Structure 1
Amino acid sequence: MLHFVLTRLLSLTLSLIVASLVIFAVIELVPGDPAAFMLGLNATPEAVAALRADLGLTGSPVARYLDWTGGLLRGDFGQSYTYRVPVSELILQRLWVSLPLAALALALSTAIAFPVGLLAAARRGRATDYGIMGATQLGIAVPNFWFAMLLVLVFAVNLRWFSAGGFPGWEAGAGPALKALILPAVALALPQASILARVLRSALIETLGQDYIRSARAKGLSQGQALRRHALRNALIPVLTIIGLQFSFLLAGAIIIENVFFLPGLGRLIFQGITQRDLIVVESVVMLLVFAVITVTFLVDIAYALVDPRLRHRR
């Protein structure tokens, strides 16, 4: 198990190094000068040069990359060009919106997908199975931003159960804050629940054809008991993969939903940083999201080893 964990940690470290190089290189290749953008069209070359020096944009790319990565290792994400505050402060403010949103959406997705996937596998080839597969296909096909606008129209405009957008902040209380996240979480959870339910159904059907399941049925277990006691645990590996990827997507890929609901999250921060040419914000936030994705992948690998003992003992 120790060898397994160390191997995954080494892979995680190398992935972060490569990701930092790619992110910095891509940002460097983006056309436009942040200093000239901030000062406007009528700025003099002297003023632009002075602002570039003040923002730390005059050094060589290698020196700036080393300075940026060294700051990341120390927990210093730099200072925003636009807001003139530490990027870490901006990230911390926005993280308290994006992280609960991703966790709530993942919880809703899992809570919907597991019983639906189990029911579809248990009723394989029947009308219930066909109905569930059709519904999940529709859930995958419907764009989440369109579904989000539909939720706003029904539950915010017509029924007035929820607000159409905005976030009151956690200082207003956990109830109002969570209520503001319910509609965007549902909009994010629907396609993810559909994907997870289909993967779980496929994994369960494949597992139900194994010899040990037939042996369990021969010993007197019902199909439901064999499904819950034996098949589900052995079908979890592909499901864990999807759950890990979904959390990463929900944390890093909710930019459209955050803009639909005017949520001050990390996705909206990246969008604002791109439009305002605030490159240090874009670099640092994207690197943080890459770190979150790679860390979640590492935790999924550890969960693999806990679920499947063969991975722990494989050399």
Structure 2
Amino acid sequence: MTTFLLKRLAIGLVTLLVASIVVFGVLEVLPGDPARIMLGMNASPEALQSLRALMGLDQPLVTRYLNWLGGMAVGDFGASITYSSPVIDLIGERLAVSLPLAMIALLLSTLIAIPVGVFAASRRGGVADTITMGTAQVGVAIPNFWFALLLVYVFAVGLQLVPAGGFPSWNEPWAAMKALILPAVSLALPQAAILARVTRSAMVEVMGEDYIRTARAKGLPRKRVLWRHALRNALIPVLTILGLQFAFLLAGTIIIENVFYLPGLGRLIFQAISQRDLIVVEGVVMLLVASVVLINLVVDICYAVVDPRLRVRR
């Protein structure tokens, strides 16, 4: 197990290195001068030269990349010109919104999807299975931003149960949680539809195995066979989707955060791209890449916990 973890860590570090080269290179080849975009077309040559020097754009490409990489290695992501603040501080402030939002959405998605998937698999081919999977297909097809607007219209504008947007602060915990309810639901339900379909497919495959028939032949209750034997062996693909979904929920909230006007990572990267604040874009993207690598490592560890056979092989 230790060898496996060390190998996965090495792969993760190589992935981060390659990703840093790609991210830095892609942003460098984008057309346009960041300094001119930030100062405007009427900026004087002296102001442009001063800003380029401040942003490090007057240095050679390799030097800028190595300085940026070395800074990230020690936790220094640089400073934002637009916000006049260290990038790591901006990320920390925005993570205080995006991370709880992603975790709440993932929890809701899991609590909805796994029971629905098990229920549909236990009634394979029946009316309940057809209705459940049909509803899940609709959930997959509906764009989450349209669903978010519908939730705002019903629960914020119509019933006035929760705010339509904005985020107070965590100094007011109840108000902050109310502000995250609609965004979390609008993110969770489409993901729950995907996860429910995956859970149902994995359960149907597992329920055809010999050990399930043996357990039923021994007289074990149907619920125990479903939840203790079938579900545990069907969790490998479910865990894979959960890992991917958490990475998506953390990185893919740009539209939802703009719909609800939340000061999260998605809104930060959207504003940084529009303002051509490259150092912020590079820092946020690398943080998201690192989160994906870390989540994949956690999922691999969960594989070994769920299925002891994998520990023996590794």
Decide: shared fold, TM above 0.5: yes
Shift of 1:304: 0.8
Deviation at 1:229, TM superposition (A): 1.6
Root-mean-square deviation (CA), in Å?
0.9
Correspondence 1:202-213 to 2 at 5 A:
202-213=201-212
Per-residue deviation, residues 218-273 of structure 1 (Å, max 9, x unmatched): 10013322111211110000000000100000000010000000000000000000
Q: Distance in 2 between matches of 1:54 and 1:293?
A: 32
Measured after TM superposition, the shift of residue 11 of structure 1 is: 1.0
Q: Give the deviation of 1:46 after TM superposition.
A: 2.4
- CA positional deviation for 1:38: 2.0
d(CA) in 1 for partners of 2:6, 2:93:
33
Partner SS state of residue 169, structure 1: coil
- The 3-state SS of whatever aligns with 1:291 is helix
One-letter amino acid matched to 1:78: G
- Indicate the SS of the match to 1:43: coil
Q: Matched residues in 2 for 1:5 and 1:166: separation?
A: 41
Q: How much identity, in percent, do the aligned residues show?
A: 65
d(CA) in 1 for partners of 2:42, 2:72: 35
**Mean Cα displacement is larger for which, 303-312 or 180-189?**
303-312
Say whether residues 1:246 and 2:241 are aligned partners. Answer: no
- For residues 21-61 of structure 1, the C-alpha deviation after alignment (integer angstroms, 9 at most, x for no partner) is 11001111111112112221111222211211122111111
CA distance in 1, matches of 2:149, 2:38: 34
Could you say which residue in structure 1 is the equivalent of 2:161?
161
User: How far apart, in 1, do the equivalents of 2:230 and 2:90 lie?
Assistant: 45
Question: Where does the alignment leave 5 or more consecutive residues of structure 2 unmatched?
Answer: none
Residue 88 (structure 2) pairs with residue 119 (structure 1)? no
Q: Distance in 2 between matches of 1:150 and 1:3?
A: 50
Counterpart of 2:76? 76
The question of whether the paired residues in 2 share the 8 Å contact of 1:165 and 1:261 is answered with yes
In the other structure, the counterpart of 2:95 is 95
Return the offset for 1:314. 2.0
SS of 2:80's equivalent in the other structure is coil
Residue matched to 1:2: 2
Give yes or no for contact 1:204–1:235 (8 Å, CA) kept in 2.
yes
* Aligned counterparts of 1:168 and 1:147: Cα–Cα separation in 2: 23
- 1:150 and 2:116 correspond: no
Corresponding residue of 1:28: 28
Is the contact between residue 4 and residue 312 of structure 1 (CA under 8 Å) also seen in structure 2? Answer: no
For 1:270, the equivalent position in structure 2 comes to: 269
For 2:22 and 2:310, how far apart are their aligned partners in 1? 31
Q: Which runs of 5+ in 1 are unaligned?
A: none
Q: Distance in 1 between matches of 2:289 and 2:304?
A: 23
1:230 aligns with 2:229: yes
Q: 1:212 offset after TM fit, Å?
A: 0.6
Task: Indicate the residue corresponding to 1:255 in structure 2.
Answer: 254
Q: How far 1:76 moved relative to its partner?
A: 0.6
Distance 2:198 2:278 in 1: 38
Determine the structure 1 residue equivalent to 2:64.
64
Report how far residue 72 of structure 1 moved. 0.6
- 1:196–1:242 Cα contact (<8 Å) kept: yes
> Which 4+ runs in 1 deviate beyond 4 A?
none
Give me the whole-angstrom Cα distance separating, in 1, the residues matched to 2:225 and 2:309: 22
> 2:182: which partner in 1?
183
What are the within-5 Å matches in structure 2 for residues 132-143 of structure 1? 132-143=132-143
Letter in 2 for 1:185: A
Alpha-carbon contact 1:82-1:278 (below 8 Å) kept = yes
* Mapped partners of 1:38, 1:218: distance in 2: 72
What does the per-residue CA deviation read over 1:132-151, in whole Å, with 9 as the maximum and x for residues that have no partner?
Answer: 00000000000000000000
| Counterpart in the other structure of 2:288 | 289
d(CA) in 2 for partners of 1:264 and 1:210? Answer: 49
* Structure 1 stretch displaced more, 144-153 or 114-123: 114-123
CA contact (8 A) 1:216 1:226 kept: yes
**Separation in 2 of the partners of 1:193 and 1:111?**
8
Aligned residues: 314
Q: Residue 41 of structure 1 corresponds to which residue in structure 2?
A: 41
Q: Residue type of the partner of 1:110? A: T
| Alpha-carbon distance between aligned partners in 1 of 2:47 and 2:213, rounded to the nearest angstrom | 78
| Separation of aligned partners in 2, 1:214 and 1:30 | 59
Name the counterpart of 1:216: 215
What residue in structure 2 maps to residue 298 of structure 1? 297
- Which amino acid in the other structure matches residue 275 of structure 2? Q
Q: Distance in 2 between matches of 1:153 and 1:161?
A: 11
Secondary structure, counterpart of 1:213 in structure 2: helix
